Amino acid sequence: MEALLLAWFAAHGRDLPWRKTRDPYAILVSEVMSQQTQVERVVPRWERWLERWPTIEALAATPAAEVIREWQGLGYNRRALALHRTARHVAEHGWPEDLTVLPGVGRYTADAVACFAFGRAVLPVDVNVRRVSERTGHAFSHASAQALMDLGKTVCLARIPRCSTCPLAAACPSRGSRFEPARRQGPFEGSFRQRRAEALRAVVAGSQPVDAEAVASLTRDGLLRVDGVAVSLPD
């Protein structure tokens, strides 16, 4: 089954720029940016980010305010702050053996960097990898990580998989099945997340936000700082 998957990937795998590097910093940036963000939006932002900060040391030497400004439009701004803190940690101490000690780096991201950058024999399990593995009942190796991600993203879809075009369909016990929709996150419009985003954008643009609750929340996360009545980005 794994050989069939890899043959399919050789012909149909997505051409993503971070798949052409083994630089752990570049791969980490791609993984953090891709969390809850469509890959089509990530590619140009990833390229711009690395043009501006080509090394992790360059990012570490940059004020947090500039990192937050550059992140605007990608959403979930805490990711930018965590990435910046990680850069400062690595610039000072080097890459740790256990990557989960880095700010904002969970099990999946740690395994992705370990596999794709450091060549460790670990399979990073995201939602697409888990879906394909569970439906096929097959234990895939780390060599199939990228292929599993692409198959889950483009063929083995969450609700109605495209079994007619799947290279694993003949041996898949779930072939032809339909699945209940996964629980979706609440709408952004009108949410507190939107209020936070608007408050942060106001500060980035040089204005003072009027939503005190959103400012307080952003301040607790380290994305803003309050000095008296003045609200600004962190240093």
Residues of the chain with pLDDT under 70: 181-185
Residue tagged active-site, from 2, 31, 92, 134: 31
Task: Choose among 2, 12, 27: nearest CA to 143.
Answer: 2
Total residues found in the chain within this entry: 235
Place of tokens 């953090």: 32
Task: Choose among 86, 82, 104: nearest CA to 222.
Answer: 82
Largest CA-CA distance found in the chain, in angstroms, rounded: 66
The stretches of 19-100 forming alpha helices (DSSP H) are 24-34, 39-52, 56-60, 64-71, 78-93
User: Is position 31 annotated as part of the catalytic site?
Assistant: yes
Beta-carbon neighbour count of residue 130 at 10 Å? 13
- pLDDT score for 183: 64
Report the DSSP beta bridge partners of residue 231.
226
Q: What tokens appear for 106 in the block?
A: 């969970």
List the end-to-end C-alpha distance of the chain, in Å, as a whole number. 51
Q: Which domains are assigned to the chain?
A: 1-12+121-184 (1.10.1670.10), 23-116 (1.10.340.30), 192-232 (no CATH)
- pLDDT score for 92: 96
pLDDT tens digit sequence for 199-209: 998 999 888 88
- pLDDT score for 182: 66
- pLDDT score for 184: 66
Per-position DSSP letters for 92-136, written without gaps between them: HH---SSGGGSTT--HHHHHHHHHHTT--S-----HHHHHHHHHH
Cα 161 to chain center, whole Å?
23
Q: Cα(165)–Cα(169) distance, rounded to whole angstroms?
A: 8
Place of tokens 């959103």: 214
Q: Cα(18)–Cα(231) distance, rounded to whole angstroms?
A: 36
pTM for the whole structure: 0.89
- pLDDT score for 192: 87
Task: Choose among 219, 215, 221: nearest CA to 195.
Answer: 215
